[in-house]
């Protein structure tokens, strides 16, 4: 693809075609070869413009960087969010494999299933009674869908995932391989003989544009609904227990775990391996750092760290002292000695 | 269903039929609508009786609450464990989907497999040689069972789970979707060239009434047996390594991980993301708090928290001081200054 | 098998046949019965020689232990790595189930797939276009392989695992059940409307002799390659994010999580539930203790513990003081009082 074609496809208005190079690949800046397109996120990566072998760059709206690229004869486009423009460029060179919109003869589909237009259903898929599948849905091999599930338009279900009864998945979602949606929440009543199972009669609702990572699990509750808000992205091996209410456009990184009935606002970010105790409420825009264990409600916009999680700032300060505790202990002993205090510690 | 029918089905002896309302659903107390049944766990929720729209309630054996409900014209039954009676009520209104006891023609079942009475086997299930399946077992689509496995009566295997050779699963168990039982334990011998694989020739035994959550994994050992005791309930994404011995009626919440050869007593509770180091022994009735990292044996009945886990009480006290460490550090510096001590910290 | 046969098969040169017992099983030393072979790792287990019922033992190169066994009439062989010799012995008594090298008629294999010699493909396997499968590869039922994947000779893919496009798996690897290789990395660009998906156009390369545990996930990156070095062993429920570079002969225990673009040297050991923050570099031979949260680069050979991870030695010392913080706090208060200092804490 000529660079000028790329500029046109991205709809860029700020650019320098230079020699209008042929672009054959996209690449990280360090690994870039001639004929590849790469990107620079901001001024602090300026030095890389001087050395990269890329033939073209996506740049931020920064005249200094643009001049620098022009002087090296590198073609460029500029964008207020260069990372997004670069992501759009990747999509011009690579689209993930999608099967053709056909139903494989080995798929087992109950006669009552309602299929939309141009649906792709892979080999050995099983779809039980009463399921409704929207238009242009893509279901990869060996997926199992329990009775009554609803799948919105253009949603993709990757191989070997399982969608249980009482689940509703919106449009434009991606459910990655091995994910399990709508299985029975972990609800048991302690009784003298052990644990009495509470049937999980509630629902899972996944709104539009949600992504659920590989082998992640989202359980249905005994009553009411587990809900994942529009645009929320969930990474691999995440556990969302029965009755959680997750807002819109949240990010949950790998191995995050939410206990039952957690409420999460919009645009919340949870880093890897965060755990949230049951019934906790997390305000809009809050951030939980990697491995945080959140036992109490978190205010909107707060950043929390540690187990139990406290303000990130306090955690950093206290941790700095934690690492000097052996010396502090010695100092305290010395003071006690000097003051003739009989020591407790 | 008339409330009087429900009373009869639950076998309740303490109740007030009021107007014997028609009950059409079960509901959480906050969300309850007319014609729904809800429940109150104890006196501290008394205020909700005054405002709920539920037509009927499950109450504890508390005359005050009962009088309050009667005065509002709300039908009620009372039970020593109201949560259990409510769970029984849910089961009257909702039963999870179970396929009819048929063998789907696409299932691949070795001729040597022994099948009990009224077994349901879903589409694309694969059952290898020598497997024994009990009566009324229910196997959902795309389950794979390796050779020689034994599955007890009435056990349910949800879609896409895998049961490996040398596994024996008891009666009345539920194995949720994506769980893997009896795969090879993570056993390698360090040798100069790297890691030498130790074949895992042992067994997994899961006793009766065990539940294993979605995508959880229970490995078989090199020698001897990994055992999960009767009535133990395991949540999603839990890892139980080779050779663990888990007692009866334990609870393991989401993402708990047990390293090799851990021994766990009866009625032990592990909250979410707990990790137990190999060969540790946990006594009966012990509790490990969320995210605890247990490096040493835990006495029966103990409650442990933290990484490494210590007594919960001590952890709470030490953590309170941890959060004041920056101030403590300043105080110590001030004392050193006042005493003319050359500071180490 | 006669003990003398076993000696011959292991190629041992240091042994005592004693009465050349018939060996019918391998066993842990505590559980050993007559006719079983067991092993002793070193001198500290010497007492067990006096009491074991094993008919034969694998011993270290230790004359004392050897004499002790001979005096009890126990047959023995000695090896510089007795655990390895014992592992080899287990393999003489037990080999995991492998299907015969046939292609099950229910497998769905694209005509363009290249199959090596003596390949075993189980029921309901799905292999998409352009896949290359090496010689003697063994693919268990319900595995799904996306287009263009390459699988090396003698590699084993257990039931219900999924290999995505742009993945290359070497020779002599074992991918356990439910593992997902090469799915889309968790890459999104923050934009005002939410999160913009970055297509993951990179690759996953798994070198020879790698083992990936049940339900573990290894993602492909937007650009370049996620790489797992030769001989590395990965346990269950491990998450390796897009763009990680893992060296050779590493060990990653259960539920370890690596964020994006982590670089790990050779022979690194990560204990259970370790988490590594994105872009961190871990040097050769480093060890991260169970539950460590690694936020900064780790030097070769270092042992780190804690969240955030620090030197293991410092962590142990600081933790000892942490457990005495309540007393330290009281001591500090007492000193302040004695000195007439107005207290901050």
Confidence at C219, pLDDT banded by 50, 70, 90: very high
Among all residues of chain A, which has the CA nearest to that of B92?
Answer: A199
CB proximity B123 to A under 8 Å? yes
Under the banding of pLDDT at 50, 70 and 90, the label for residue C44 is confident
pLDDT (mean) for C67-75: 96
Phi and psi angles of residue B90, each rounded to the nearest 5 degrees, phi first? -55, -40
Sign of the CA dihedral B20, B25, B30, B34?
Answer: negative
Quickly state the pLDDT bin for C24 (edges 50, 70, 90): very high
Read off the pLDDT band of A45 (50, 70, 90).
confident
| Chain A residue numbers touching C308 (CB-CB < 8 A) | 319
Question: Is the pLDDT score of A141 beyond 70?
Answer: yes
For residue C142, list chain B residues with Cβ-Cβ distance below 8 A: 124, 126, 142, 144, 160
d(C-alpha B20, C-alpha B56), whole Å = 9
How confident is the model over A233-257, as pLDDT tens digits?
Answer: 999 999 999 999 999 999 999 999 9
Count residue pairs from A and B with Cβ separation < 8 A. Answer: 207
In Å, how far from its chain's centre is CA C74? Answer: 34
Q: Do C338 and A343 touch (CB under 8 A)?
A: no
Residue whose tokens read 């202990």: A329
Residue A78 has pLDDT above 90, yes or no: yes
* Cβ–Cβ < 8 Å for B212, B229: no
- Contact B176/B198 with Cβ under 8 angstroms? no
Average pLDDT, chain A: 96
Query: What are the backbone dihedrals phi and psi of residue B328, each rounded to the nearest 5 degrees, phi first?
Result: -60, -40
Residue C342 has pLDDT above 80, yes or no: no
Cβ of A308 under 8 Å from any chain B Cβ? Answer: yes
Please give the domain boundaries of chain C with CATH numbers for all domains: 3-93 (3.40.1390.10), 161-308 (2.160.10.10)
Residue A85: predicted pLDDT: 96
- At which residue do the structure tokens 């009281």 appear? C330
State the sign of the Cα–Cα–Cα–Cα dihedral B317, B322, B326, B329. Answer: positive
* Peptide bond preceding C308 in cis form (omega within 30 of 0): yes
- Partner-chain contact C321 A319, CB within 8 Å: no
Contact A43, A67 (CB under 8 A): no
Tens-place pLDDT, residues A142-191? 999 999 999 999 999 999 999 999 999 999 999 999 999 999 999 999 99
From the CA of C31, how many Å to the nearest CA of chain B?
A: 8
- Average pLDDT of the segment spanning B169-173: 98
pTM of the model: 0.97
Residue pointed to by tokens 């397109």 = A37
Across the interface, of C147, C197, C332, the residue whose CB is closest to A97 is C147
Buried/exposed code over C108-128 (b: 16+ C-beta within 10 A; e: otherwise): bbeeebebeeebbbbbbbbbb
In the predicted structure, residue B294 carries a pLDDT above the cut 80? yes
What does the alpha-carbon distance between residue B52 and residue B27 come to, in Å, rounded to a whole number?
A: 11
**Of the ranges B44-48, B100-104, B239-243, C163-167, which one carries the lowest mean pLDDT score?**
B44-48
Q: B27 to chain C, minimum CA–CA distance in Å?
A: 34
- Between CA C234 and CA C240, with CA C239 as vertex, the angle to 5 degrees is 80
Question: What percent of chain B lies above the pLDDT cut of 90?
Answer: 93
Between CA A269 and CA B172 the distance in angstroms is 40
User: pLDDT of C99-116, one tens digit each?
Assistant: 999 999 999 999 999 999
Mean pLDDT computed over C88-94: 96
In chain B, residues with a C-beta closer than 8 Å to the C-beta of A104 are none
Across the interface, do A142 and B140 touch by the CB < 8 Å criterion? Answer: no
Closest C-alpha among A86, A118, A117, A112 to residue A100: A118
pLDDT-derived band at B121 (thresholds 50, 70, 90) equals very high
Of the candidates A87, A178, A335, which has its C-beta nearest C189's C-beta?
A87
CB proximity under 8 Å: B 221-280 to C: 222-224, 237, 239, 241, 255, 257, 259, 273, 275, 277
pLDDT at B344: 66
Tell me if C138 sits within 8 A of C157, measured CB to CB. Answer: yes
| Gap between the Cα atoms of C62 and B171, Å rounded | 49
pLDDT(A345) > 70: no
**Beta strand pairing call for A303-305 and A310-311:** antiparallel
Answer yes or no: is pLDDT of B345 > 70.
no
| Best of A30, A104, A253, A254 to mutate (most C CBs within 10 Å, chain C) | A254
Instruction: List the subunits that have 3+ CB pairs under 8 angstroms with B.
Output: A, C
Write the pLDDT tens digit of every residue in B8-39: 999 999 999 999 999 999 999 988 999 999 99
Assigned token pair, B177: 């979707």
């Amino acid at each position: 693809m000529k660079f000028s074609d790329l500029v046109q496809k991205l709809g860029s208005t700020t650019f320098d075609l230079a020699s209008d190079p042929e672009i054959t690949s996209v690449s990280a800046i360090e690994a870039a070869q001639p004929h590849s397109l790469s990107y620079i996120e901001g001024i602090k990566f300026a030095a890389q413009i001087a050395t990269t072998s890329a033939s073209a760059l996506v740049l931020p709206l920064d005249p200094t960087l643009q001049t620098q690229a022009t002087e090296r004869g590198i073609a460029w486009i500029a964008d207020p969010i260069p990372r997004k423009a670069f992501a759009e460029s990747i999509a011009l060179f690579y689209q993930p494999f999608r099967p053709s919109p056909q139903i494989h003869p080995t798929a087992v589909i109950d006669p009552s299933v309602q299929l939309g237009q141009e649906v792709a259903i892979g080999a050995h898929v099983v779809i039980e009674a009463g399921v409704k599948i929207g238009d242009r849905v893509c279901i990869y091999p060996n997926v199992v869908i329990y009775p009554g599930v609803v799948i919105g338009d253009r949603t993709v279900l990757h191989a070997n995932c399982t969608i249980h009864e009482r689940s509703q998945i919106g449009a434009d979602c991606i459910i990655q391989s091995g994910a399990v949606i709508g299985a029975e929440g972990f609800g048991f009543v302690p009784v003298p003989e052990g644990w009495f199972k509470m049937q999980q009669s509630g629902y899972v609702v996944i709104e539009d544009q949600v992504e659920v990572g590989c082998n992640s699990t989202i359980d249905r509750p005994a009553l009411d609904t587990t809900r994942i808000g529009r645009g929320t992205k969930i990474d691999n091996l995440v556990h969302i227990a029965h009755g959680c209410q997750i807002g819109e456009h949240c990010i949950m990184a790998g191995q995050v775990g939410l206990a039952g009935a957690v409420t999460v606002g919009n645009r919340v970010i949870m880093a890897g391996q965060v755990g949230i105790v049951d019934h906790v409420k997390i305000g809009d825009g809050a951030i939980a750092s990697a491995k945080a264990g959140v036992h109490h409600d978190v205010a909107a916009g707060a950043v929390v760290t540690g187990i139990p999680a406290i303000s990130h700032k306090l955690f950093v300060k206290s941790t700095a002292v934690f690492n000097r505790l052996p010396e502090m202990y010695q100092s305290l002993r010395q003071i006690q000695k000097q003051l003739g205090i009989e020591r407790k510690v």
